[in-house]
Structure 1
Amino acid sequence: MIPEFANKVLIWFDQHGRKDLPWQQHPTPYRVWVSEIMLQQTQVATVIPYYGRFMQRFPDVLTLADAPQDDVLKLWEGLGYYSRARNLHKTAQRVRDEYACVFPTDRADMETLSGIGRSTAAAILSLSHGQAHAILDGNVKRVLARYHAVAGWSGEPRTLKQLWEHAEHHLPTQRNADYTQAMMDMGATLCTRSKPLCLLCPLQDGCKAFQQGKPQDYPGKRPKKDLPEKTALALLLRNNDGELLLQHRPPTGIWGGLWSFPEFADETAMADWLAQHFAQTCIVAARLPTLTHTFSHYRLHLQPLQVDLDAHPARIMEGNGWLWYKADTHFTGGLSAAVRQFFQNIE
């Protein structure tokens, strides 16, 4: 017996749900896992081309685990939130080494893998194995918050606890994979953040937010928080071949594992570094427009300074986390947003 809520959702899904997404074809745990990680904080339309390229290069977990991290980050370039890519690589290696390339089928075990929380683990096992697990991604939170008129920001522990209780309560024991996909689809196509299509929703009769006439009041908005503003200098050191010096960033933190311009707190620090590494005159050739990047916990204003070497560097600094890079040349590593934005601006 399927509960009334779930039954309405499934009937709608059979008629209107999305069934042709690339990760729905042959939904193995590996394929579903990659899609779920990519879809975190990223829309389906953006993910689809990235997913296709990723699957072509890494068709299975072993290929991904054995690949250099630079290859993984290169294919992630432009998708943002690069910790997801690093976690994918790390998890692939754990699945290779600890599970003989077979993903665990227990949710608790799945949650121990990097980048996989309760909802993502549930989605992977539901969509690939049909296991009966409730999920609570952003789309599902919105559907349930409106249906039950759950006030408050969904990231607040008390509100989140209520939403999990509702998610578990409505969970069917049959057709769980379809139900999971249906709930995500409803949030993405009907119960949208702005201008929800309530009159087309199969749940409107029982939806408290619809009855109140104010569905857009749910879920509550995240409390506003002023982001700290930070400034830094980006050194665009150019040699006589027109190449720019790039630094391989540490594996964690902003743009972790990507190649970026060396950054300095101020011009004095930059000048000291140049004097230490280059025994020749370095001329500040141009001050370029500031690049602004907003991260989750601060906003960075990056002032690019182009500095030209007045003699050939003879490959000074090449290797050991440094390289000379020229636009449009073949490069397997991932480039930071600052580097990509710079080259886009000069095209």
Structure 2
Amino acid sequence: MSKLQEIPLSVLDLVPIRDQGSIAEALDQSRQLARQVDQLGFNRFWLAEHHNIDGIASAATSVLIGHIAGSTERIRVGSGGIMLPNHSPLVIAEQFGTLETLYPHRIDLGLGRAPGSDHATMRAIGRHMDAGVTDFPERLADLRRYLDDAQPGQRVKAIPGQGTHVPIWLLGSSGYSAQLAAQLGLPFAFAAQFAPGYLDEALHLYRQQFQPSEVLDEPYAMVGMPVIVADTDEQARYLGTTAQQKFLNLIRGQRTRSLPPVTRVEASPHEMAMVNQHLGAAVVGSAETVREGLEAFLDRTQADELMVVTDVYDSEARAHSFELLAQLWQSPER
């Protein structure tokens, strides 16, 4: 059996807003994608909290998770992630406790520390500049307490939330969350879709320092990564220029709405080096090329689960990419 058939396959959707497109269109395309991958047998569909970013429509992450869960049947739906220092742990427990009550055994709560935006937006959210720097473990402990069974004499309870035991993941792009997840015996997800440079070291730290818990007996690591599959390598590389342009505009401080693919991305060698650094974990190509690339990636990382990001401008091309990807997991012949 191929390694691809041995692990779950999941999806991270950033709900990209297309250039000249609308937010309503982006939200509808996210719903359609979730329905498609639900039917194709994918394991999870996660959404990420970002604020004041013109090209991303998932700021109200908990609301959108409810919308997606209500539009699908069996796939797990969750956050990749909720930026916990932006919020009261009690409020997040109430939100995800409500989601778990509405959609039992289908909700995941992935947590990060970053603000998900810039300093001006942090102030608008009401987040203190030092939030999450030293108090993240305390916030996490509070959140876990609100989702666990109520303790005798507990004065403040999450209602809904208390006793729902929503699965918690720690997310990160460095060693901090990897080590905290290991210490607490929680599952860990690494964001190689935009910061692949520290992937190997973070996974090593997580596995080396892992302590069994009531949640996990052994470490469980999921890796997010960009993947695009098309009928040919050339077509896939062409589709991939949408993501390249997005990172290029991010580097330049320009709008990051999704742009149509181009035959050549106009950028300096230094800019392209930075773009390629962000997309260093990307696997792009025909089905055979992607199969070889993903198997090599799994050999290197020993990931327990893959969560793919497919940033493609055309919704039909994106749907086709996921169809081809699902076939790699389902086909007995390689």
TM-score range, shorter chain: under 0.3
TM-score normalised by length of structure 1 = 0.25
Asked which structure has the greater CA Rg, the reply is 1
